[in-house]
């Protein structure tokens, strides 16, 4: 600044993910670079900056504050005010201040950055080979935080006193580890060890674990958000034994690979897949198996895809110096139980599953599973499970509100805290039908309330009276309760994620949801905005013979569709198609389908997929939720463009999609000799056409040309892309979910959006 130039000043408030991500040292360096003086300070609500200096430098400073902010930072709002310059000298970082009504955001865990990776691989570095290396650009966050504001004493790293050298880095604004709360080194930080048969092994734990894995053993590995069970993905007996011990029959295992080159050896990676694999969230990414993929077939049976992920902590990176290049890495739990995340929990609950335990003494405060994403056709991303790396990033809602707690559904449960147009969606918690998961659900709600310092007096819940989440909501006293229909919540989640309020046409396609008319919904066409919905169409209804029994046995659904398609003759057709029912089963099914005994009506799309998968003999035994639909998609020949002509009818003022006709055509084609893969593809193509035809009719009636696609069926990449393209061709605007899962994992987000919109309408 020349003497003639008059200094000016500015005061800035920055909010978003700006704490615990190296934001203050970045501001410090930026200010010094532009020869500005003043200070920066973390408050419990935002980062506050006061700067003064030459006007042109100030402009550049403000510009670069957003354009050059650190990798993990996310600025949601920046308020800039003029401020009288005070003639300050130098730039400083002030002590944190607490303001009432704290709203500072907690960052998500981030995978090891390139700088830390270089250090752990460099024999000359003091952090060489140290499995807990991290810095302000990477490392654990959400999983170690006990309370806010985010400072070391309020994390599980409080147990480790920093050595003088770490302290020096931590206090030096020029250092990459300035205020890196979990920073540590071999001198002062956590350590790793290996236990086998209750005994701690001497020597290099990572090397010993690598040796066991090479020998085909199963090792329980404590990672960032919980335990994994690992084994060599190329050794068939090891993978088979892990399946056996875990009680997991067919559901694919995820595979962690040493590096991108190894991922390329196993999967066909397009640009989008590669980008997702390398993203700082490091999710499990579904990638198409290569023809010459040499993994054990038991890793992902009947599946064209592999769930691949790259190592995301120094511990994993270092383990690969010794372990086989591709490791099965499946959640450390018995099937359907919650993830194990404490050393003692692992020693007890994983005792029968693992041959050895790779443990460490950095406690995990909040367990968090791996996230799973599915890239489709190189252009779309379907999040299947939102957890590590993404939580607790917030999702914007198009409606402001007082604090709301939305408790979600039963399967793939998440809950959501929303206030002032922002939604804090919990990590995937799993199915709430065990005592353990339900306990964890309640603990997690308490933790999120305390982190956000919100105690919502409004609770949104699903209308299904049997859901544990519903019972939890109804048991709360002195709060306002808002019930939200399941499929309305699906469409609201899709609208909200896209920043839209509707009205729109909504296709809510899933397995099961509670319908207010006493039938089971799941193939619903709605006209919906955030506050309300009207059902304007559905899939034709069929019986669910034996209720839950038909959900578990796809052959029963095929029988129900055969009954609807071929009438009383259906048992003969079922015999000719070798469904393998016993004569007792045949009698019971005939009776149930003729009388409706214990066989509610359903318009579920998931059940139609089950029926077709069983009829085409693609999948007749279900060992996990969604298996028949997944295997039907995997069986379909993608080049097949043929389809069946099936119509749209109407009944009771509703548009009705002829799912029975679609089933009949598929079965007739198959029995006339069409290969299952061809019939499966034609089924997908026809369903996409049927849905598009229904949307065109509804557009004519309503004038709406925006369509929201939501529900678990849209995890199906083939149906999604076929339908998407047809709708675009017909001139529709199509909304899909790309940040939150289309399955029940985002029901809580939809519930929160609906509740917020209803409160707004009431003027509350």
Instruction: Please tell me whether residue 166 binds Zn ion under the rule CB under 5 A.
Output: yes
Nearer to Zn ion, 268 or 519 (CB): 519
Nearer to Zn ion, 9 or 383 (CB): 383
Site for Zn ion in 581-620 (CB under 5 A): none
Nearer to Zn ion, 497 or 669 (CB): 497
Residues with Cβ within 8 Å of 311's Cβ and at least 6 positions away in sequence, in order, are: 112, 256, 258, 282, 317, 319, 320
For the CB of residue 120, give the shortest distance to Zn ion in the complex, in Å: 10
Give yes or no for a contact between 127 and 177, defined as CB atoms under 8 angstroms apart: no
Q: Minimum CB separation from Zn ion for residue 117, in Å?
A: 8
Task: Give least dist CB 715 to Zn ion, A.
Answer: 11
| Nearest to Zn ion of 268, 279 (CB atom) | 279
Smaller CB separation from Zn ion, 195 or 410: 410
Task: Provide, rounded to whole angstroms, the least separation between the CB of residue 174 and Zn ion.
Answer: 16
Q: Select 177 or 258, whichever has its Cβ closest to Zn ion.
A: 177
- Ramachandran region of residue 365, left (φ > 0), alpha (ψ -120 to 50) or beta? alpha
Bond preceding residue 392 cis, omega within 30 of 0? yes
- Let me know the angle formed at the C-alpha of 722 by 716 and 727, rounded to the nearest 5 degrees: 120
- Two tokens at 650? 């109407």
The smaller minimum CB distance to Zn ion, of residues 82 and 187, is found at 187
Which part of the chain contacts Zn ion (CB under 5 A), choosing from 184-192, 315-323, 693-701, 734-742? 184-192
Could you please report the per-residue DSSP string of 68-137? T--TT-EEEEEEEEEE------SEEEPPPB--SS--PPPPPPBPPPHHHHHHHH-TTSTTTT-TT--BTT
To Zn ion, the closest distance from the beta carbon of 612 in angstroms equals 20
Distances (CA, A) of 364 to 424, 660, 745: 20, 50, 23
From candidates 93, 102, 158, 188, binder to Zn ion by CB under 5 A: 188
- By beta-carbon proximity to Zn ion, the closer residue of 441 and 566 is 441
Angle ∠(726,378,628) on CA atoms, nearest 5: 70
Please select the residue that binds Zn ion; options are 510, 529, 610, 633, rule is CB under 5 A. Answer: 510
- DSSP H stretches of helix in 396-546: 435-452, 468-474, 486-497
Nearest distance from C-beta of residue 629 to Zn ion, angstroms = 13
Is the CB of 452 or the CB of 605 nearer to Zn ion? 605
The window from 70-78, 109-117, 229-237, 649-657 that contacts Zn ion (CB under 5 A) reads 109-117
Residue from 50, 113, 525, 571 touching Zn ion (CB under 5 A): that is: 113
**C-beta of residue 601 within 8 angstroms of C-beta of residue 542:** yes
Q: Is there binding between residue 625 and Zn ion (CB under 5 A)?
A: no
Give the total of residues touching Zn ion (CB under 5 A): 12
Segment lying near Zn ion (by CB under 5 A), choices 23-31, 186-194, 280-288, 417-425: 186-194
Q: Which of residues 134-163 bind Zn ion (CB under 5 A)?
A: 135, 137-138, 163
To Zn ion, the closest distance from the beta carbon of 523 in angstroms equals: 11
- How far is it, in rounded angstroms, from Cα 372 to Cα 381? 10
Figure out which of the listed residues 30, 72, 185, 662 binds Zn ion, where binding follows CB under 5 A.
185
Burial of 764 (0-12, 13-18, 19+ CB in 10 A): exposed
Cβ distance to Zn ion smaller for residue 688 or 710 = 710
Query: CB–CB of 136/22 below 8 Å?
Result: yes
Q: What is the DSSP letter of 535?
A: E
CA dihedral 142, 147, 148, 154 (to 10 degrees): -90
**Chain centroid to CA 368: how far?**
11
Q: Tell me if 168 contacts Zn ion by CB under 5 A.
A: no
Q: Which of 168, 187, 294, 649 binds Zn ion (CB under 5 A)?
A: 187
User: Binding of Zn ion at residue 680 (CB under 5 A)?
Assistant: no
Given the rule CB under 5 A, which of 164-172, 263-271, 699-707, 716-724 is the region that contacts Zn ion? 164-172
As a whole number of angstroms, the distance between CA 714 and CA 497 comes to 15
Q: Is 203 exposed, middle or buried (0-12, 13-18, 19+ CB in 10 A)?
A: exposed
Part in contact with Zn ion (CB under 5 A); list of ranges 307-315, 316-324, 508-516, 642-650: 508-516
Binding span for Zn ion by CB under 5 A among 177-185, 240-248, 286-294, 677-685: 177-185
Q: How far is the CB of 292 from Zn ion (least distance, A)?
A: 36
- Decide the pairing of beta strands 267-268 and 284-289: antiparallel
CA 696 to chain centre: 32
Q: Residue 463 CB, nearest distance to Zn ion (Å)?
A: 12
Considering the complex, state which of residue 279 and residue 590 has its C-beta at the smaller distance from Zn ion.
Answer: 279
Cis preceding linkage at 149, omega within 30: yes
Structure tokens at 546: 């034996």
Q: Taking the complex as a whole, how short is the minimal distance between the CB of residue 262 and Zn ion, in angstroms?
A: 22
Q: Figure out which of the listed residues 281, 553, 610, 744 binds Zn ion, where binding follows CB under 5 A.
A: 744
Pick between residue 195 and residue 744 the one whose CB is nearest to Zn ion: 744
Q: How far apart are the first and last CA of the chain?
A: 52
Here's the x/- map for Zn ion, 69-108, by CB under 5 A: it reads as ----------------------------------------
Please say which residue, 97 or 165, places its beta carbon nearer to Zn ion: 165
Residues 6+ apart with CB under 8 A from 615: 558, 561, 562, 577, 663, 666, 667, 670
The nearest distance, CB 605 to Zn ion, in angstroms, is 10
Query: CA-CA-CA-CA torsion for 482, 483, 485, 489, nearest 10 degrees?
Result: 40
For residue 68, which phi and psi values (nearest 5 degrees)?
-120, 20
From 14-22, 306-314, 604-612, 741-749, give the range in contact with Zn ion by CB under 5 A. 741-749
**Which residue, among 35, 40, 31, 155, has the nearest Cα to 92 in the 3D structure?**
40
Q: How far is the C-alpha of 66 from the C-alpha of 281, rounded, in Å?
A: 21
List 110, 116, 157, 459, residue binding Zn ion (CB under 5 A)? 116
Binding site for Zn ion (CB under 5 A): 113, 116, 135, 137-138, 163, 166, 185, 187-188, 510, 744
């Amino acid at each position: 600044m020349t003497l003639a130039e008059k200094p000016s000043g500015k005061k800035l408030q920055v909010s978003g993910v700006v704490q615990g991500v190296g934001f203050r040292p970045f501001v410090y360096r930026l200010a010094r670079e532009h020869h500005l003086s003043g200070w920066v300070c973390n408050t419990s609500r935002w980062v506050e900056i006061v700067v003064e200096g030459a006007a042109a430098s100030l402009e550049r400073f403000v510009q670069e504050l957003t354009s050059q902010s650190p990798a993990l930072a996310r600025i949601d709002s920046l308020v800039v005010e003029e401020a009288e310059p005070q003639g300050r000298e130098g730039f400083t970082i002030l002590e944190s201040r607490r303001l009432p009504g704290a709203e500072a955001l907690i960052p998500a865990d981030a995978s090891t950055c390139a700088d830390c990776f270089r250090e752990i691989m460099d024999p000359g570095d003091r952090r060489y080979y140290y499995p807990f290396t991290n810095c302000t650009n990477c490392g654990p966050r959400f999983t170690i935080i006990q309370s806010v504001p985010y400072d070391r004493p309020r994390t599980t790293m409080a147990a480790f006193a920093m050595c003088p050298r770490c302290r020096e880095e931590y206090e030096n604004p020029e250092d990459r580890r300035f205020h890196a709360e979990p920073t540590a080194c071999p001198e002062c930080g956590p350590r790793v060890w290996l236990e086998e048969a209750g005994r701690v092994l001497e020597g290099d734990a990572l090397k010993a674990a690598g040796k066991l894995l090479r020998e085909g053993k199963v090792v329980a590995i404590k990672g960032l958000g919980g335990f994994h069970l690992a084994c060599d993905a190329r050794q068939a007996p090891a993978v088979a034994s892990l399946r056996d011990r875990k009680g997991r029959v067919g559901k694919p295992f995820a595979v962690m690979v040493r590096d991108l080159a190894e991922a390329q050896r196993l999967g066909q990676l397009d640009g989008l897949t590669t980008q997702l694999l390398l993203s700082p969230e490091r999710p499990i990414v579904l990638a198409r198996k290569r023809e010459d993929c040499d993994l054990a077939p038991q890793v992902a049976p009947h599946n064209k895809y592999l769930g691949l992920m790259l190592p995301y902590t120094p511990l994993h990176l270092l383990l690969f110096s010794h372990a086989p290049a591709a490791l099965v890495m499946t959640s450390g739990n018995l099937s359907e139980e919650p993830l194990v995340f404490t050393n003692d929990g692992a020693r007890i609950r994983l005792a029968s599953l693992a041959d050895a335990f790779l443990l460490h003494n950095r406690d995990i405060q909040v367990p968090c599973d791996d996230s799973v994403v599915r890239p489709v056709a190189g252009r779309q991303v379907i999040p299947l499970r939102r957890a590590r790396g993404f939580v607790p990033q917030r999702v914007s809602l198009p409606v402001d509100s007082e604090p709301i707690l939305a408790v979600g559904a039963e399967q793939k449960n998440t809950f959501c805290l929303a206030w002032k147009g922002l939604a804090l969606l919990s990590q995937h918690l799993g199915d709430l039908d065990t005592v353990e998961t339900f306990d964890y659900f309640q603990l997690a709600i308490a933790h999120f309330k305390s982190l956000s310092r919100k105690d919502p007096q409004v609770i949104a819940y699903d209308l299904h009276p049997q859901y544990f989440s519903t019972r939890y909501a109804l048991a709360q006293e002195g709060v306002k309760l808002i019930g939200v229909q399941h499929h309305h919540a699906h469409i609201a989640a899709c609208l909200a994620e896209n920043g839209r309020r509707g009205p729109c046409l909504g296709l809510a396609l899933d397995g099961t949801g509670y319908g207010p008319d006493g039938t089971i919904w799941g193939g619903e066409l709605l006209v919906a905005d955030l506050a309300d919905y009207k059902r304007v169409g559905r899939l034709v209804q069929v019986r669910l013979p034996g209720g839950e029994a038909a959900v578990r046995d796809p052959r029963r659904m095929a029988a129900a569709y055969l009954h609807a398609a071929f009438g009383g003759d259906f048992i003969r057709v079922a015999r000719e198609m070798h469904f393998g029912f016993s004569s007792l089963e045949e009698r019971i099914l005939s009776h149930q389908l003729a009388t409706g005994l214990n066989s509610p009506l359903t318009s579920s799309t998931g059940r139609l997929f089950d029926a077709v998968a069983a009829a085409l003999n693609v999948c007749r035994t279900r060992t996990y939720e969604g298996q028949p639909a997944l295997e039907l998609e995997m069986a379909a020949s993608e080049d097949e463009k043929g389809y069946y002509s099936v119509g749209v009818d109407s009944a009771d003022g509703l548009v009705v999609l002829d799912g029975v006709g679609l089933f009949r055509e598929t079965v007739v084609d198959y029995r006339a000799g069409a290969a299952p893969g061809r019939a499966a593809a034609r089924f997908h193509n026809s369903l996409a056409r049927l849905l598009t035809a229904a949307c065109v009719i509804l557009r004519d009636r309503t004038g709406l040309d925006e369509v929201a696609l939501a529900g678990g069926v849209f995890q199906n990449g083939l149906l999604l892309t076929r339908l998407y393209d047809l709708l675009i061709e017909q001139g529709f605007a199509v909304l899909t979910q790309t940040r939150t899962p289309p399955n029940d994992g985002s029901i809580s987000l939809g519930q929160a959006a609906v509740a917020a919109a209803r409160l707004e309408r009431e003027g509350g």
